[in-house]
Amino acid sequence: MRYVVKRLLQAIPIVLAIIILNFFLLQLAEGDAVDVLAGEAGSATPEYMAELRAKFGLDKPLPVQLAIYLKNVMVLDLGYSFRHEMPVSELIFDRLFATVLLMTSTILLAVGFGVLLGLVAAMGLNTWRDTAISIFALITYATPLFWVGLMLIVVFSLNLGWFPTSGMENFAMFYEGWDRVKDIAHHLVLPTITLSLFYLALYTRLMRASMLEQAGQDYVTTARAKGVTENRIMFVHVLRNALLPVVTMAGVQVGALIGGSVIVESVFAWPGLGMLAFEALFSRDLNLLLGIFFLSALLVVAVNLVVDIVYSSLDPRIEVD
Amino acid sequence: MNFRTWVGAALCAAGLAAGAGSATAQTAGGTLVYIVQPEPPSLASFLSTSGPIGLVAPKIYDGLFDYDNDLNIVPALAESYEVSDDGKTVTFKLREGVTWHDGAPFTSADVQFTVMEVLKKVHPRGPNSFREVMSIDTPDDYTAVFNLENPAPYMLRALSGYESPIVPKHLLEGQDPRNSDLATNPVGTGAYKFTEWRKGQYVRLDKNENYWKDGLPYLDRIVGRFIPDASTRTAAMENSEVMYGAYGAIPNIDAVRLRDMDGFSVTTDGYSMINPMALIEFNTKESPFDQAAIRQAVSLAIDREFLIENIWFGYGKPATSALSTNFSATGLYKAGLPNYPANADVDAAIKVLEDAGITADGDGVRARAVLDLIPYGEDWRRAGEYMKQALAPIGIELDLRYEDVPTWLKRVYADYDFQINVNYFYQLPDPVLGVHRHYGSDQIRQGTHFVNSSRYSNPELDALLAAGAQEADAAKRSEIYGQIQEILAEDMPVVNLFEMQFLTVYNDKLKDHATSALGAYGPFERVWIEE
Amino acid sequence: MAFWKLFARNRGAVIGLVILVLITVMAATAGLFFPQDPFSLAGQPMSPPGENGFLLGSDSLGRDVAAGIAHGAKTSLLIGLLATLVAVFVGIVMGALAGYYGGFIDNLLMRLTEMFQTIPSFIFAILLVAIMKPSIESIVIAIAVVSWPAVARLVRGEFLSLRNREFVQACHTLGMSDLRIMLGEILPNCLSPVIVIGSLMVATAILIESGLAFLGLGDPNIMSWGFQIGAGRTLLRSAWWVCTFPGIAILLTVLAINLVGEGMNDALNPRLRERS
Amino acid sequence: MTRLLDITDLHVALPPESQRPYAVEAMNLHLEENEILCVVGESGSGKSLTARAVMGLLPKPRVRIAQGSVLFQGEDLAQASEERLRAIRGSEISMIFQEPMTALNPVMTIGVQIDEVFRFHDRMPGKERRRRALKLLQDVQLPDPEQTLKAYPHELSGGQRQRAMIAMALALDPKILIADEPTTALDVTTQAQVLKLIKEMQASHGTGVLFITHDFGVVADIADRVCVMQNGLVVETGTTDQVLRRPSHPYTKALIGAVPDLVPRPARARSSETVLRVRHLEKTYRSGGGLFGGKERVVHAANDVTIDLARGETLGIVGESGSGKSTVARCIVRLNDAEAGEILLGDTDLRPLGRAAMRPHRARIQMVFQDPFASLNPRTRIGKIIAQGPMMYGASAEAARARTLELLDIVGLDARAYDRFPHEFSGGQRQRIGIARALALEPEILVADEPVSALDVSIQAQILKLLDEIRDRMNLSMIFITHDLRVAAQVCDRIAVMQRGQVIEVGPTAELFANPTASYTRELLSAVPGKDWFSEPAISSETP
């Protein structure tokens, strides 16, 4: 528990720095939320726009705006979205579920499959299985995400009709209860596959290398010298040690994953934070964008915490107290 | 000419239409899922004419009128209207027994409040549409009398539920309409009631059981889905996950493909009130486009057919004047003007340039400029790339600059920091509403979007525009607009490229969705789904 | 020489190198085979591959897809290389300072690195490009900004372990300056892993560029594979070739770079172990 | 006696690109019940691969048995199936390794790792397995066996880990125990304990032990019979007494001759001039802790250390790992900053000097490092490594080159070394290069930190000789850090013994060896392996 608190305290300066950095970066962007709103509305007088700016607090000097924002963030008030006219926290929490769902399923699939493929490849080193897995991993990594996404839609939604093309739920039906869970799971399949294919390669390769490295360690020789079976050596001795770098990598990847999902969210109309951030950026919805950066930073910190705990449970040398 | 008009004929027509509809045994019930793209910022159609709002809000709010596909007035909240002989008083007889979604009765006070306190004050186009309205009298609950300063025949074209939604006075009075809860929680009199808006996913409207048209709407529910990626929208349409997509939701190229498939159709109906025109805006205050000759040359060098054929896949009509040919019905459009070739005329363009003394340097370049364009999608990018290629042969070398919406808006309309800009405008049902804003000196309004960013100013034209706005006589009006178009064909502060034809792609099971001139911006009360 | 021998032992790496060389040659000779501007409207729009004189077909405006791929190779490789160079440079400076001096400097620089790793990187790249306006420069900078932390961490780790090596301490006892120790003694010894990670970064940069282009954030004035894909993605269902061939080009390049990177890893790393 | 193992004409083939075709060639060897056979040799002699060949643990297919037989109780292990070998390993033949930290799986408890031996060879209930594991841990004299079962390897000390390994190896009472340098990574006192343990266990179980080592001291202490290997060939086999006292093969003779004598060499006259005075030096290391708390660990690496170094003398600092001897050395050359005390070089206190102020004094104290592989930059040519020092202090390129060539000659290297890279040299040669580098600045004091502990014994002798020569020739004063009392006896005029950061005893080498005052010094001296064999002047060896 103390460890958790400590980690969270350590994260505070980082999160603040992220907010401040992005706050000033966004000031460099031309135009503001009012321009966008007025542009979308079709027409607006300069007086009206000035009024709007005053309403959003955009007329105040920058340091004051920042100070106000930071003061509010301290009490976890993320402010009001200019464009959506609702509290940022509400907007984000609406999307958080979808993001966390996609992220979790992607990590599980990518890590799970990556570990499995890496394992198979390492065990059949230099056989056709190893080669096939390596080539598969490389190709999935090298294929642009949106291409994979669109192709999966064409094949699995249009031609085979197995999965819906997009969205998170069936909006014609509005299922309840278990049916809804099943419906969401059904919608989750294609985006998860698309997103995890990219990361799959990473974990496969890492796992393979890690297995090979661990297989050359002295303790493996010891285990052999004890007469332990090869299967146990692989699946008990080596596997657990080989997983360590994979777990570390999974932690590092989380930040990238939230961002990397923009394209997948766009292709599959998945209502996640990535797309929201994208739209917020292009509508100069400062509060919303900063809120997303804030939350995703927290998310990364939280996931890393989980990763640390998982790591320490795998590796007794690391202690979390 | 007598301006006194009863709408008996229109009423009759509406009745016929309804009768014809009922003959084909509509199925009641079902959910329509249609594409709303992008996700609207709010549902405050009284504050914003933003496209996606238009796709949702008119299902919730009614206007005084609706319009059929031939732009005839169809009564809605107003059962009939009467225009005085001098054209300065318009009396609307309102429908009785209409209630708001929250149960409150709809009365003339709502109309008065909406126009005077909301539309005239905070609607983007309201101040223009209702500029002549001085006051509105409400002799009784179901009569609204508009007192005008000058006759405003165009006003009657701006009374749809999309353009001028009637909003509930009891929910807005005493508040700043720009800050009201109504924006995200709308309450109207329309066929559907607002139920839920799941950000990033959909907005859901359910059937209004107390709708004033008996037996309507047929559908139990309509759901507007937000799907950011165009290819995915097409796939969703193909997979029947959505049944309706308008305003280019399905890219033209895919629309063409779907059109040729069983079960899907494409229509260009439903956009006559919008009248969109693709065009080029020039910065007329800065070299090189401060000379009319070079602007004419641009117009001559662009192959309008090519644009339509290869970027919009055949949907569109080369522009031939400052006004759309859709205005020929009202006699305002003038044909046979120079400088609007359907196919590029490079020789003519070069001759214009040579005659004006704009000569090429050693590299064959006469002028260099940066082309901006409206950041509203891939088609426009293609258009920009095409223009770069099309203008090279006449010695105009373009660099392309694609920026996001706020940057672009600020550059063009606030900073005037541009040279040549591709854009599109809605000409709307009357030039006063949609066209004047491009050209009038009074429309050089720095910081206001979609007005005269060319900063073209011509006193002669200003006078003609003023006259045209008030002229009630059709023949005289036609003559005035003829002159206007002639001047613009020479000066070309704006080069019209082509009349856009927006596409609506729909599943063939979806019926009666194009009964209104508003099309996708219509109320959808008669839409039904075949089993 | 020994490097080549080890490298050549990895068949995949050699294949990758051959592909990479071919792509580079294609980029260098694009002007020879396709003298026309790749943006020029060369003929019948939407021609399928092999028709109307288009080897790989033409796009919706009648631009030659093959010419675009040849000319785009230059841009894509350039973006990949430049972004990597910038990222590697920044990463080395940060990582070297942090790893060498440790303590407060290390703490500060690593917090900074952590910060950049905490920001969702692709969104951040989008943000940077949007702010700086889409152009080659802004894309390169954005990619570099989101890529350097990985290099910094790697270099820091290497410096941390190398700074306590005896040969470095020997330099201290000679009274050598810090800068000279960092540049002359430690850096050359941690270049191998940096080269390996750098090679993979080139591939990632090319992918990021295509992703940015997909979202409409490419440089419109310069032909690149990302541009082609962005321009062709709506045609995917009607004219598959417009977007598929550049996609394959990206795939091949990324694949080749990865293979070469892996080969270098194999060739460089055991040697490093053996020597130190 | 039963013959347990009979190796005949064993050839272990190396991969094609190796320097020689066979790691082990035409080996004939046998092991009897209840005996300890030491296979001794220098690095690269093939002794370890012999052990692995017996266990069937060669890194196949690159290294394999090409020819010959390994008969275990009549069964040829070279032909045995993998399944059969697995059955034998751990139950009939078991093995312990050099580095107990890496040889144990870091993420599994000792208990689980011991338990595996039972699980894979014997069907017995969990309770019984646990009981036997506890018994084993008691047998190898591990404190608190209950707790140890639950412990992870990193929670034990080096000696405890090796004991756990031994427990594991002896779990099923194997006929043969193969021990591959099991004490090399341990401190001398721990080594003595572990050797004693192995011997006791062997005696009580009647095990045949194949003991691989490079250390003749260990051989002397433990072996019944000895087999000497050189470059894959067995050059001599015989009883311990035969081989150690009457070696027949010249290589064996040379090896034995190279073992430093534990009897100190005759004392030399000590100069009255003191060049370096270290006074009350303090240095602590902190780990953990930091801004947000956590347990901070403080190690007092130098605690009130006071030593003097006279001109021309060699002062040895001896102690086990963690005693702080290296810390003191590094503080003197200012690689580490001491917190308190004085380091008086002449009249200058070096301790408080900043970088710039220190620079003029740098050249006066130079250092020779332990690891010949890590102490030379792999990317720099030898010439530059040596010449860059003088050049930094203003020597011209030609002068530096001339000086470098001269130094190469002094340390016994060819002038052609100038343009080569470190990896082209052997360990001993590299150490010579390191010495040349240190001499390049013509220092007054040379600090040598375990300069020979990574070298084979024959090379060791050469380097020690070189250091001696140089000291005399250049009138150097030397601080010599070592853990090896034999080495210290041969090179040091005086010795300071360190334990836990403190100097517990200082004195002239001969006196200190003869009459150690501190009990720890006595403990160290008594733990030196083979002291009874190699202290007697009667040994027939060519003294270095």
ipTM comes to 0.81
pLDDT value, residue D535: 54
Distance from C276 to chain D by nearest Cα, in Å? 5
D176-180 sheet: strands from edge to edge = D93-96, D176-180, D208-213, D36-41, D225-230, D233-239
For D383-425, what is each residue's pLDDT tens digit? 999 998 888 888 888 999 999 999 999 888 888 889 888 888 8
- The pLDDT, as a whole number, for residue D209 is 92
The whole-number average pLDDT for the span D291-308 is: 74
Residue D120 distance to chain A (closest CA, Å) = 6
Domain locations in chain A as residue ranges: 2-88, 96-314
CB A146 within 8 A of CB C211: yes
Domain carrying residue C111: 2-43+53-275
**Pairing status of strand D176-180 against strand D64-72:** unpaired
Interface of B with A in 217-236 (CB under 8 A): 223, 225-229, 231-232, 235-236
CA dist., res. A223 & res. A202, Å (int): 29
Q: Residue A156: how many CA atoms within 13 Å on its side-chain side?
A: 20
Q: Is residue C48 part of a domain?
A: no
Would you state the pLDDT for residue D538?
38
Residue of A nearest to C257 (CA): A142
The mean-pLDDT minimum among B100-109, C253-262, D498-507 falls in C253-262
Residue C206 lies inside a defined structural domain of this protein: yes
Residues of B in contact with A167 (CB under 8 A): 201-202, 225, 227, 236, 241
What gap in Å lies between CA A78 and CA A239, rounded to an integer? Answer: 44
Specify the pLDDT at position D541: 41
Segment B237-246 shows an average pLDDT of 89
Residue A45 contacts residue B414 (beta carbons within 8 Å): no
| CA dist., res. A224 & res. A242, Å (int) | 17
Q: What mean pLDDT comes out for the span D81-102?
A: 87
Tokens of B45: 């159609």
* Domain end marker among B132, B158, B185: B185
- C-beta atoms of A219 and D152 within 8 A: no
**Interchain contact, A147 vs C117, CB within 8 Å:** no
Among B450, D446, D530, CA closest to C170: D446
Q: Is the CB of C114 inside 8 Å of chain A's CB atoms?
A: yes
Q: Tens digits of per-residue pLDDT, D153-163?
A: 888 888 888 88
Query: How far, in Å, CA of A22 to CA of B272, rounded?
Result: 44
CA-to-CA distance for D138 and D164, rounded, in angstroms?
10
Output phi, psi for A218, to 5 deg.
Answer: -60, -35
Residues of C in contact with D335 (CB under 8 A): 169, 172-173
Handedness of CA C33, C35, C38, C42 (dihedral sign): negative
Look at residue B395 and tell me if it is in a domain: yes
| Contact in structure between A284 and A36 (CB atoms under 8 Å) | yes
Residue that terminates a domain, selected from B185, B212, B245: B185
Shortest Cα distance, chain A CAs vs residue C266, angstroms: 11
| Cβ-based neighbours of D12, under 8 Å, separated by 6 or more | D22, D23, D24, D25, D46, D49, D50, D53, D58, D63, D64, D65, D66, D232
- Cβ C61–B402 below 8 Å, yes or no? no
Residue B296 host element (H or E): helix B292-301
Residue type at D501 in one-letter notation: G
- Would the pLDDT of D492 be above 50? yes
Evaluate whether residue B28 is within a structural domain: no
Strands B396-401 and B367-373: parallel
Q: Looking at residue B206, what is its pLDDT?
A: 92
**What digits encode the pLDDT tens for the residues B316-351?**
999 999 999 988 888 889 988 888 999 999 999 999
CB contact under 8 A, C234 and B378: yes
CB contact under 8 A, B235 and A157: yes
How many of the other CB atoms lie within 10 Å of CB of C5?
Answer: 10
Give the mean pLDDT of chain B: 86
pLDDT band at C8 (very low <50, low <70, confident <90, very high): confident
Kindly report whether the peptide bond that precedes residue D61 is cis, defined as omega within 30 degrees of 0.
yes
Report which of C126, C135, C139 is spatially closest to residue C220, judged by C-alpha positions: C135
In whole angstroms, give the CA distance from residue D372 to residue D425: 10
Give chain C's domain count: 1
Interchain pair A227, D86: CB under 8 A:
yes
Residue D425: Cβ within 10 Å count = 19
Predicted confidence band of residue A240 (pLDDT cuts 50, 70, 90): confident
C195 close to D (CB below 8 A): no
For D296, the enclosing helix (H) or strand (E) is: strand D296-310
Please state which CATH number belongs to domain A96-314.
1.10.3720.10
Say which range, A157-166, D24-33, D223-232, has the weakest mean pLDDT: A157-166
Q: Which residues contact B14 (CB under 8 A, 6 or more apart)?
A: B68, B74, B75
Q: Which helix (H) or strand (E) holds D300?
A: strand D296-310
Could A40 and B229 be called an inter-chain contact, meaning their C-beta atoms sit closer than 8 Å? no
Residue B96: which of B108, B114, B83 has the closest Cα? B108
Q: Is residue C184 part of a domain?
A: yes
Q: Is A85 on the interface with B (CB under 8 A)?
A: yes
Q: How far is A247 from chain B (nearest CA, A)?
A: 32
Is position B414 within any domain?
Answer: yes
Buried b (16+ CB within 10 A) or exposed e, D75-105: eebbebeeeebbebbbbbbbbbbbbbbbbbb
pLDDT of residue B5: 42
* C53-83: pLDDT as tens digits: 888 888 888 889 999 999 999 888 999 999 9
Give residues with Cβ within 8 angstroms of C207, minimum separation 6.
Answer: A142, A144, C250, C254
Instruction: Name the band, by pLDDT with cuts 50, 70 and 90, for residue D478.
Output: very high
Q: Which of B212, B271, B215, B314 is nearest to B424 (CA)?
A: B271
B9 pLDDT band (50/70/90 cuts)? very low
Q: What is the number of other CB atoms lying within 10 angstroms of the CB of residue D339?
A: 12
Task: Tell me, yes or no, whether chains B and D touch by having 3 or more C-beta pairs under 8 A.
Answer: no
**C240: contact with A, CB 8 A cutoff:** no
What pLDDT is recorded for position B464?
A: 92
Is D35 a residue whose pLDDT tops 60?
yes
Pair B430, B274: CB distance under 8 Å: no
Structure tokens belonging to residue B502: 């927006």
CATH number of residue B171's parent domain: 3.90.76.10
Q: Is the pLDDT of residue C132 over 90?
A: no
Q: What are the structure tokens assigned to B428, written together? A: 């709307």
Q: How confident is the model at residue C135 (pLDDT cuts 50, 70, 90)?
A: confident
State residue B482's pLDDT score. Answer: 92
**Can you tell me the distance from the alpha carbon of D59 to that of C5, in angstroms, rounded to the nearest whole number?**
23
3-state helix, strand, coil in chain B (%, to 5): 35, 20, 45
Residue B241 is assigned to a structural domain of this protein: no
Ramachandran quadrant class, D312 (left: phi over 0; alpha: psi -120 to 50; beta: rest): left
A273 three-state secondary structure: helix
Cα–Cα dist D253/D231, whole Å: 16
Residue C107, domain member (yes or no): yes
Q: What is the pLDDT of residue A150?
A: 81
In chain C, what residues touch B400 (CB-CB under 8 Å)?
220-221
Least confident of A248-262, D20-34, D447-461: A248-262
Domains of chain D from N-terminus onward:
3-257 (3.40.50.300), 312-337+351-538 (3.40.50.300)
Region B16-31: what's the mean pLDDT? Answer: 60
* Cβ atoms of residues D449 and D326 within 8 Å: yes
Neighbours of chain D (3+ CB pairs under 8 A): A, C
Residue type, D47: K
| Cα separation, B408 vs B411, whole angstroms | 5
Q: Classify residue C156: in a domain, yes or no.
A: yes
Question: Touch between chain B and chain A (3+ CB pairs, < 8 Å)?
Answer: yes
Q: What's the average model confidence in pLDDT over D308-329?
A: 89
Contact A153 B232 (CB under 8 A): yes
Extract the tokens encoding B154.
Answer: 């165009």
Q: List the single residue in B47, B228, B448 with the smallest CB-CB distance to A275.
A: B228
> Which of D291, D343, D369, D379 should we substitute to test contact with C (largest number of C Cβ atoms within 10 Å)?
D379
Indicate the pairing of strand B31-35 with strand B221-225: parallel
pLDDT computed for residue B296 by the predictor: 92
Q: pLDDT at position C271, please?
A: 41
> pTM of this prediction?
0.83
Domain assignment present for B13 = yes
Indicate the range of A138-147, B133-142, D24-33, D501-510 predicted with least confidence.
A138-147
> pLDDT band at residue C269, thresholds of 50, 70 and 90?
low
Residue B230, in any domain of the structure: no
Confidence of residue D296 (pLDDT cuts 50, 70, 90): low
Contacts of residue B448 in chain A, CB cutoff 8 Å?
Answer: 38, 43-46
Comparing B157-161, B252-256, C7-11, C35-39, the range with the smallest average pLDDT is: C7-11
Report the percent of chain C where pLDDT is more than 90. Answer: 17
Structure-token match 């494409």, residue found:
B266
Q: Write out the DSSP string of A22-91.
A: HHHHHHHSSS-HHHHHHHHHS---HHHHHHHHHHHTTTS-HHHHHHHHHHHHHTT---B-TTT-SBHHHH
- Residues for chain B: how many in total? 531
Residue of D nearest to C161 (CA): D374
Number of domains in chain B: 2
The residue of C9, C20, C118 whose CB has the most chain A CBs within 10 angstroms, and thus the best one to mutate to test that interface, is C118
pLDDT tens digit sequence for A42-73: 666 777 778 778 878 888 888 888 888 888 88
Residue B389: CATH number of its domain: 3.10.105.10
C-alpha dihedral (A222, A226, A229, A233), degrees to nearest 10: -30
Question: Which residues are within 8 A (CB) of C36 and not within 5 positions of it... i.e. 6 or more apart?
Answer: C42, C64, C67
Q: Mean pLDDT check: name the lowest of A306-315, B139-148, C183-192, D247-256.
A: A306-315
The CA distance from C206 to C203, in Å, is: 5
**Domain containing residue B418:** 276-500
Q: Which of D453, D472, D478 is nearest to D463 (CA)?
A: D453
Whether residue B18 lies inside any domain: the answer is yes
pLDDT at B17: 42
CB D180 within 8 A of CB D96: yes
Per-residue pLDDT, A16:
86
| pLDDT (tens digit per residue) in A162-212 | 888 878 877 777 777 788 888 888 889 999 998 888 888 888 888 888 888
Residues of D with CB under 8 A from a CB of A: 55, 57, 86-91, 94-95, 97, 99, 102-109, 116-117, 120-121, 152, 154, 165, 168-169, 292-294
Q: What percentage of chain D reaches a pLDDT higher than 70?
A: 96
Amino acid B11: pLDDT: 40
Packing angle, helices C240-275 and C187-214, rounded to 10: 170
Share of chain B above pLDDT 70, in %: 95
What one-character DSSP code corresponds to residue D20? S
Residue B25 confidence (pLDDT): 67
Q: What's the residue count for chain C?
A: 276
User: A39 vs chain B: nearest CA distance in angstroms?
Assistant: 6
Taking Cα atoms as reference points, which of B372, B272, B281 lies closest to residue B330? B272
* CATH for C202: 1.10.3720.10
Contact A207, A118 (CB under 8 A): yes
